[in-house]
């Protein structure tokens, strides 16, 4: 089973992202920062936050689903706000998406918030609502279940240091893992956590027997050249001891986002 986790950066590098996903052929794709704009047929719209303007792939969820026609696609919105077509505001949803190949039936799933709650009338003030998607899959070839959970951790404008909100988020994430996984499950937990490797988050998750593969295997960054701020970590992939890791990589080439894809084969 091939699992890829990636913050898709709102599809800003759409052509490169689509080409990578098509070539990589993931069985499970866990994607954060996904845009879903049913009210528009535009390819690109602008996200505006004060002076910050970022082009977004308006129907990123639809477009990735088309690249993976043999996968079951699930979109998990965290908020609905406005994207802009010139002076025209267009309602658009922002959140997570999960794509699972149809040969791996989803036998249980939970969509939940780890910080805040769904924001229907705007993206909201920082730190904004964040959600997670947990799935329990059955692998017929190997005759075992596996639980895969991914999330996008809250963004604090002050930085990636531990805060009470981040500690509470970690406990909610741990509770979600407990809720989806059965005692004998293989567990994969991944996402853009938006914390540093020293975060208490990892101590909380270690109580579940989860260990991070990014720092544990000596990788020194999960960011691409498109990210020009200090701090090279954001994305993590944790597994329990039942997971037999055949391959793990932080993919640096090609660059498809300001985050690197995390690639796991089990």
> Residue 10 is part of a domain; what is its CATH number?
3.60.10.10
Looking at every residue in the chain, the average pLDDT score rounds to: 97
Task: State the average pLDDT over residues 188-204.
Answer: 98
pLDDT over threshold 90, residue 78: yes
Is 218 in a helix, a strand, or coil? coil
pLDDT over threshold 90, residue 133: yes
pLDDT over threshold 90, residue 230: no
What's the confidence (pLDDT) of residue 130? Answer: 98
What is the Cα–Cα distance from 178 to 45, expressed in whole angstroms? 38
Q: pLDDT confidence of 231, banded at 50, 70, 90?
A: confident
Task: State the average pLDDT over residues 228-236.
Answer: 92
Q: pLDDT confidence of 51, banded at 50, 70, 90?
A: confident
Q: pLDDT confidence of 181, banded at 50, 70, 90?
A: very high
Exposure string over 222-253, b if 16+ CB within 10 A, otherwise e: bbbeebeeeeebbbbbbbbeebeeeebebbee
Q: Which residue has the tokens 């020009």?
A: 228
What is the Cα–Cα distance from 155 to 141, expressed in whole angstroms? 39
What's the confidence (pLDDT) of residue 52? Answer: 85
The total domain count for the chain is 1
Q: Which residues pair with 112 in a beta bridge?
A: 132
What's the confidence (pLDDT) of residue 49? Answer: 87
Task: State the average pLDDT over residues 65-86.
Answer: 98
What is the Cα–Cα distance from 122 to 97, expressed in whole angstroms? 20
Structural domain containing residue 232: 2-265
What's the confidence (pLDDT) of residue 188? Answer: 98
Is 99 in a helix, a strand, or coil? strand
């Amino acid at each position: 089973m091939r699992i890829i986790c990636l913050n898709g950066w709102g599809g800003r590098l759409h052509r490169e992202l689509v080409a990578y996903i098509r070539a990589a052929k993931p069985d499970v794709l866990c994607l954060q920062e996904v845009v879903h704009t049913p009210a528009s047929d535009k390819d690109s719209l602008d996200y505006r936050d004060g002076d910050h303007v970022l082009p977004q792939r308006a129907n990123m969820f639809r477009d990735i689903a088309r690249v993976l026609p043999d996968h079951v696609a699930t979109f998990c919105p965290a908020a609905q706000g406005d994207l802009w077509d010139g002076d025209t505001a267009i309602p658009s949803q922002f959140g997570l998406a999960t794509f699972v190949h149809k040969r791996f039936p989803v036998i249980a799933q939970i969509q939940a918030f780890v910080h805040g709650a769904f924001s229907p009338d705007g993206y909201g003030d920082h730190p904004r609502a964040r959600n997670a998607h947990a799935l329990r899959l059955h692998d017929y070839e190997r005759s075992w279940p596996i639980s895969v959970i991914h999330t996008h951790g809250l963004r604090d404008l002050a930085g990636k240091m531990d805060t009470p909100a981040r500690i509470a988020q970690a406990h909610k994430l741990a509770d979600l893992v407990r809720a989806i996984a059965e005692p004998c499950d293989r567990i994969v937990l991944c996402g853009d956590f938006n914390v540093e490797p020293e975060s208490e988050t990892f101590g909380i998750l270690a109580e579940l027997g989860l260990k991070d593969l990014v720092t544990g295997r000596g990788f020194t960054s999960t960011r691409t050249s498109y990210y020009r701020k200090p701090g090279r970590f954001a994305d993590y992939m944790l597994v329990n001891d039942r997971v037999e890791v055949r391959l793990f990589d932080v993919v640096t080439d090609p660059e498809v986002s300001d985050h690197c894809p995390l690639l796991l084969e089990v």
